[in-house]
A and B are shown apart, each in its own frame.
Chain A
Amino acid sequence: MYQYDSYDQAMVDARVEEFRDQARRRMEGRLSEDQFKPLRLMNGLYLQLHAYMLRVAIPYGTLNARQMEALADIAEKYDRGYGHFTTRQNIQYNWIKLEDAADALADLARHEMHAIQTSGNCIRNISADHFAGAAADEVTDPRPYAELLRQWSSFHPEFTHLPRKFKFCVIAAEKDRAAMRLHDIGIRIVKRDGAVGAQFYVGGGMGRTPIIAPLVRDFVAVDQLITYAEAALRVYNRYGRRDNKYKARIKILVHELGAAEYTRQVEEEFAHLLSVGVEPPREELARIAEYFAPPAFHHPSESWDLEQLQSKAAGDPSFRWDDGFGLWVRRNTHPHKAPGYVSAVISLKPVGGIPGDATADQMRIVARLAREYSFDELRVMHTQNLLLPHVRIADLPAIWAALDAAGLAAPNMDTIEDIIACPGLDYCSLANARSIPLAQRISERFAETGRTEVVGELKLKISGCINACGHHHAGHIGILGVDRKGTENYQLSLGGSEAEDVSLAKITGPGFDEDGVIAAVETVTDVYLGARADGERFIDTYRRIGMEPFKEALYG
């Protein structure tokens, strides 16, 4: 993975000192809260309901064991012993004191991490396919391109006061495991006739006005990637709406101009910027890519394939195949490009738990497993889980046993228990309703009734307000918490997807109270189980039979 050189390190060190100075001026009263706000936001510090929240960037979700241990230490030193992994592959601490914030940032900098641009109206942390560098189906590792974008976008002088926040996502496979088209700019790295280039999807997003990003350019040569991004941003910075923060995202600009007109303007700016010369030297991408060279995988003869694992487990009860291990292997592992390897998902969705939360001890256990079994590499998934990207199938029994002992072996990836939920009214000052308790009760309910496995893949996403941080528009089932005459009310929607079959969910009808929406989710799965054809996922059945049968069962 990428390692800072002296330039990168000096850059984050200097930012810590700059922030220390800003925080000092704030505490001395020389900066007003209004003046301090964009500065602290640029350093990931939010003011929430109860305290400051610090959001730490984990670029493209990749980190090593030492960094995970540093995150654990910060959780204990400055917070309450846990952290919350987010849908943007970041980690948030919910109980930070202003006077500690600079010290926490300094600890991060010592481990090549930072909280730069994790909030504010600037280019945010770049996200990527969490299986990058491992997935059997990728064209190439997307992370070198994400790192190139990270450096370009860090402290970009022209784009620090955009109309609104700006999120990039980079993938390099047909399958979309990162909600690419629901980003301000989604990039898919492709190969055409041997040449590497980038598809640019611009103007997607969730929030109050969910929009699927249209394709703006089908192939940007890889040595013009930064120039094209700069052109796309400049048009947005100049013409994005600033009169209404709810219409200020680039999706509104692209939608109002039309994708064709937006594209025309970007192409004009692109041609101009090519003549100016803003692209980094070609050697820089090659330099970065070296850090992402594949690790030294063992020869396949030193591992097993999944069939060998199963046959060995069948003859040896110590594998505990029927005691959870088998199900975990089936649910939580993902095909790897190297024979004898898989990627193993560490669920942060224990039944009844808070989606995405991990204690400092759990972080340390995960770090140890990464060091021992996954070439010192970890990933944060946009589904608020963690991932060991490169593990030998022969090591899975030991890995599972360690995870199981730590309460980290929930075999529920992509099931209804694998809920994405925003912090909701428990933490967030914007929320109208609680998200976390609802997620907890739904996962408990489905686990109790044994329904989770019967239903199979079903992506449930919960947001506590219309800002949609819980991605409810993109859920096979989405739940949106609203405030109705002072009480929490939940709207149910069906048919969304953040994947390559991207679609936006539609509201079923009138909302429900908390008990009612849990019952409604069960009703909806009843309809699915009654109607599904062989091999159909919930979303497939919904698309085939439409909304009506579900409405009928819910309101009929």
Chain B
Amino acid sequence: MVESRDLGTSPDEVQFRFRDDEPVDHGTVTVDSCCDQTNATAVRIEPGDDARLLLPFLDRLALVEVNFPAFTDGRGYSAARILREAGYTGELRAVGDVLIDQLSHMRRCGFDSFAPDKRLDEGDAARAFATWDNVYQRAADTRRTIADKRHEA
């Protein structure tokens, strides 16, 4: 099994990051490789991959990239939530066709870094990240929902 150094994004390509730790500075491996190797710390999920295959290895992972080859393919949102629901605390990076109007939903699903194929306008992105004053449903960001607020003592 070859560990591909070409796969994945480098820290330089990350445009937005909501973490204080040092980014992983080496490439990612495929989900299959990750399951076969005991030392991989960074992995890349393609839309057709089953994120649950990674659950036994979450302790050793520091970076999970979720690729969006087309923004209309929403499988990566479920992958992100599944990882966060399982307790993954490492970096979760959305890469590929990541656009302004997907940022806020991605953030709610647990993504904390973003490496868009095309750099985004900083002002538009700042507005997009601040989209939701309040939210209706529980998600990976563990924000208190509107319903929670309505019924707090």
Q: Which residues of A contact B149 (CB under 8 A)?
A: 7
> In the complex, are the beta carbons of A287 and B72 less than 8 A apart?
no
Among listed A272-280, A527-535, A543-551, interface-contacting one: A272-280
A273 to chain B, nearest CB (A): 8
Complex CA–CA separation, A10 to B77 (angstroms)? 25
Q: Is there a chain A Cβ closer than 8 Å to B134's Cβ?
A: yes
* A14, A39, A277: the one within 8 Å of B131 (CB): A14
A158 near B77: Cβ-Cβ < 8 Å: yes
Query: Is B151 in contact with A158, judged by CB distance below 8 angstroms?
Result: no
A1-44 near B? 1/0 per residue, CB < 8 Å: 00001011011001000100110010000100001001100000
User: Is the pair A14, B73 in contact by a Cβ cutoff of 8 Å?
Assistant: no
Is residue A541 within 8 Å, beta carbon to beta carbon, of the partner chain? no
State whether the Cβ of A237 lies closer than 8 Å to any Cβ in chain B.
yes
A320 at interface by CB-CB < 8 Å: no
Tell which of B132, B134, B135, B148 touches A281, judged by Cβ atoms closer than 8 Å: B148
Contact in complex: A22, B73 (CB < 8 Å): no
Whether A310 is near chain B, meaning CB under 8 Å from some CB there, is no
Cβ of B147 and Cβ of A18 under 8 Å apart?
no
Q: Complex Cα distance A513/B25, Å?
A: 68
Find B127's partner among A21, A30, A242, A276 (CB 8 Å cutoff). A21
Q: Is the beta-carbon distance between A237 and B127 smaller than 8 angstroms? A: no
Q: Are A161 and B99 in contact (CB under 8 A)?
A: no
Cα–Cα, bound, A8→B136 (Å): 9
**A35, B99: Cβ atoms under 8 Å?**
yes
Chain B 136-153 per-residue mask, 1 if CB under 8 angstroms from chain A, else 0: 111100000111111100
Instruction: Check B42 for interface membership: any CB of A closer than 8 A.
Output: no
Residue interface mask A471-495, B partner, CB < 8 A = 1? 0000000000000000000000000
Chain B residue with the shortest CB-CB distance to A151: B136
Stretch at the interface among B16-24, B30-38, B58-66, B101-109: B101-109
Given contacts A7-B134, A22-B101, contact A162 B74 (CB under 8 A): yes
Does A284 lie within 8 Å of B105, measured CB to CB? no
- Interface size of A by Cβ–Cβ distance < 8 Å? 41
Kindly state the separation between the CA atoms of A526 and B135 in the bound complex, as whole angstroms: 57
Query: Inside 8 A of B106's CB, which chain A residues have their CB?
Result: 157
Kindly state whether residue B122 has any CB partner on chain A within 8 Å.
no
CB of A121 closer than 8 Å to a CB of B: yes
Inter-chain contact A18/B145, CB cutoff 8 Å: no
Pairwise interchain contact A238-B75, C-beta atoms closer than 8 A? yes
A283 to B74, CA, bound (A): 32
Residue numbers in B under 8 Å from A151 (CB-CB): 136-137, 146-147
- Shortest beta-carbon distance, A328 to chain B, in Å? 42
A156, CB-defined interface residue at 8 Å:
yes
Residues of A within 8 Å of B124, CB to CB, are 25
Q: CB < 8 Å: which of A161, A277, A278, A287 contacts B150?
A: A287
Q: Chain A 280-292 against B: per-residue CB contact (8 Å), 1 yes, 0 no?
A: 1101100100000
Distance to closest chain B CB from A72 (angstroms): 30
Taking a contact as CB atoms under 8 Å apart, the answer to whether B150 and A157 are in contact is no
Query: Could you tell me if A284 and B150 are in contact, using CB atoms closer than 8 angstroms?
Result: yes
B78 to A14, Cβ gap below 8 A?
no
Which has the most chain B C-beta neighbours within 10 Å: A152, A156, A238?
Answer: A238
Q: For chain B, which range describes its interface: under 10, 10 to 19, 20 to 34, or 35 or more residues? A: 35 or more
What's the Cα separation between A226 and B137 when bound, in Å? 10
Closest to A22 in B: B101
Verify A157–B72 contact, CB threshold 8 A.
no
**Smallest CB gap from B81: residue in A:** A158
Q: Are B78 and A287 in contact (CB under 8 A)?
A: no
- Name the contact of A155 in the complex, choosing from B47, B77, B135, B148 (C-beta under 8 A): B135
Contact with B along A394-411 (1 / 0, CB 8 A): 000000000000000000
A14 to chain B, nearest CB (A): 7
B136 touching A154, Cβ below 8 Å? yes
* A97 interfacial contact with B, CB 8 Å: no
- A375 close to B (CB within 8 Å): no
A158 to B106, CA, bound (A): 8
- Which one of B74, B135, B136 lies within 8 Å of A159 (CB-CB)? B74
Is the Cβ of A18 less than 8 Å from the Cβ of B131? yes
Among A296-327, those with CB < 8 Å from B are none
Evaluate contact between B78 and A158: CB separation under 8 angstroms. yes
Q: Is the CB of A281 within 8 A of B136?
A: no
B31 → chain A, closest Cβ, in Å? 14
Per the bound structure, the CA–CA distance linking A508 and B51 in Å amounts to: 48
| Docked complex Cα distance between A277 and B139 (Å) | 10
- B137 near A152 with CB under 8 A, answer yes
Complex Cα gap A279–B92 (Å): 25
Instruction: Give 10 A-B pairs besides A155-B105, A277-B138 with Cβ atoms closer than 8 angstroms.
Output: A10-B134, A11-B136, A18-B131, A38-B71, A157-B77, A162-B74, A272-B85, A278-B137, A280-B137, A287-B150
Pairs across A and B, CB under 8 Å, 18 listed = A7-B146, A10-B134, A11-B134, A25-B124, A30-B121, A35-B99, A38-B72, A155-B105, A155-B135, A155-B136, A156-B136, A158-B78, A158-B105, A160-B105, A161-B77, A238-B50, A280-B147, A287-B151
- The 10 A-B residue pairs with the shortest CB-CB distance, nearest first, are A161-B74, A157-B108, A157-B105, A280-B147, A284-B147, A283-B151, A7-B146, A158-B77, A278-B138, A151-B136
Residues of A near any B CB (own CB < 8 A): 5, 7-8, 10-11, 14, 18, 21-22, 25, 30, 35, 38-39, 121, 151-152, 154-163, 226, 234, 237-238, 242, 272, 276-278, 280-281, 283-284, 287
